[in-house]
């Protein structure tokens, strides 16, 4: 019988994965003592860094306006009993974000880390609302250039006539977020020498 991992086991798996990732990159890394505000110590040969590890097992559904998105969600800002304490600059030098499903580790500096961060899954690239809107827009423009009218385009693509009309309007620009993918946070060894 396979047991489901609990939060503590998921967290520990993330810490070990971060250590392995850092060691493979050529650094010295080890898990810290229990009860500290950081989980892993990293020695890059010049300095020792305190690394806070945040782990998720898989993507989760993030409810949004009309559509739902599946993303990796990391809650960063607080720790301690009942999550009442905020991390300070003296407690954490670096955040490691771990996705157990893909066994990937991403890294961020505290100055780049919001309290909660939603990160897109690379395996879902192209399915997010804004990306689909850009693809639909490109298709609308192609079919329009071929001489189809808005109703024909709507039926061919499977989107509403009102949406096609809006896309065909003068000055329309498809919406694109500045959302980032998990792969944007994966770092090579050189990155750690510049932190």
Question: What's the confidence (pLDDT) of residue 1?
Answer: 46
Provide CATH code, domain 7-124+179-193. 3.40.1350.10
Residue 73 has phi, psi (to 5 degrees) of -115, 125
Question: What's the confidence (pLDDT) of residue 5?
Answer: 63
Tokens, residue 65: 């306006």
Question: What's the confidence (pLDDT) of residue 152?
Answer: 92
Question: What's the confidence (pLDDT) of residue 84?
Answer: 57
- Strand partners of residue 75: 116
Cα–Cα–Cα angle for 70, 74, 77, nearest 5°? 145
All structural domains of the chain with their residue ranges: 7-124+179-193, 129-168
pLDDT in tens, the chain (195 residues): 455 568 778 889 999 999 999 999 999 999 999 888 899 999 999 999 999 999 999 988 876 656 678 899 888 765 555 555 677 778 899 999 999 999 999 999 988 877 788 899 999 988 888 888 888 999 999 999 999 999 999 999 999 999 999 999 999 988 877 889 999 999 999 999 988
- Strand partners of residue 116: 75
Question: What's the confidence (pLDDT) of residue 188?
Answer: 95
Q: Cite the beta strand spans of 7-47 per DSSP E.
A: 28-31, 40-43
Question: pTM value?
Answer: 0.78
């Amino acid at each position: 019988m396979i047991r489901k991992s609990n939060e503590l086991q998921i967290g520990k798996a993330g810490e070990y994965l971060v250590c392995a990732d850092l060691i493979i990159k050529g650094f010295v890394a080890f898990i810290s003592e229990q009860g500290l505000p950081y989980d892993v110590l990293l020695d890059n040969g010049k300095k020792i860094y305190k690394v806070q590890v945040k782990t998720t097992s898989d993507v989760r559904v993030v409810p949004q306006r009309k559509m739902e998105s599946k993303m990796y969600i990391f809650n960063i800002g607080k720790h301690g009993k009942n999550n009442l304490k905020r991390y300070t600059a003296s407690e954490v030098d670096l955040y490691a974000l771990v996705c157990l499903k893909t066994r990937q580790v991403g890294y961020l500096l505290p100055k780049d880390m919001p309290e909660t961060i939603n990160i897109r899954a690379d395996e879902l690239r192209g399915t997010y609302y804004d990306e689909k809107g850009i693809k639909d827009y490109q298709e609308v423009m192609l079919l329009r250039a071929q001489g189809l009218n808005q109703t024909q385009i709507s039926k061919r693509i499977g989107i509403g006539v009102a949406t096609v009309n809006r896309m065909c309007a003068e000055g329309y620009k498809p919406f694109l977020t500045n959302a980032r993918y998990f792969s944007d946070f994966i770092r090579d060894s050189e990155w750690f020498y510049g932190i």
